[in-house]
Amino acid sequence: MKKRNVQIYRATVGAFYAVFSVLGVALNFAACRKLRKLSLNIYKQQRSFFMYTMTCTATHMLFAFHHFVWAYSFVNADKDFLNIVRYVVRPYVYDLTTFSDPIVLVALSKQVRMAFSKTIFLRITTQTNNTRC
């Protein structure tokens, strides 16, 4: 595939991520307003979910911004800046986008933490029992 086509693809992906992010932020704030109108008990239950979705939306907004900067530096033929965006910043943005969701989910959800602890505990006890035999 030609280099120009790849950059057009990146700009298109960045545009879709930007639309997703803007709609996500708007819908998150609408959900927050609706939750505040409901009872305080329901709001407290949904607060963790709201924080998770806001984190997800924020990291995807960063991802979209990164794609726009990448496409902008390519169109302007700024090779030094393009190399910085491509090789220095990209791994951090991709890692943050990939790993922030599970980290926040584990941090906010007691059910997920309990499932992990049960799985780890069962694995440790199984390994201990197997080494004794």
Judged against a pLDDT cut of 70, whether residue 14 lies above it is answered with yes
Q: State the average pLDDT over residues 53-75.
A: 83
Instruction: Reduce the DSSP state of residue 133 to 3 states and report it.
Output: coil
Q: State the average pLDDT over residues 44-69.
A: 82
DSSP helix, strand, coil percent of the chain (3-state; round to 5):
95, 0, 5
Domain boundaries, the chain: 3-108
φ/ψ region of 50 (left if φ > 0, alpha if ψ in -120 to 50, else beta) reads alpha
Better pLDDT: 44 or 119: 119
For 84-99, write each residue's pLDDT tens digit: 888 888 889 999 989 9
Cβ–Cβ < 8 Å for 69, 12: no
pTM for the predicted model, two decimal places: 0.62
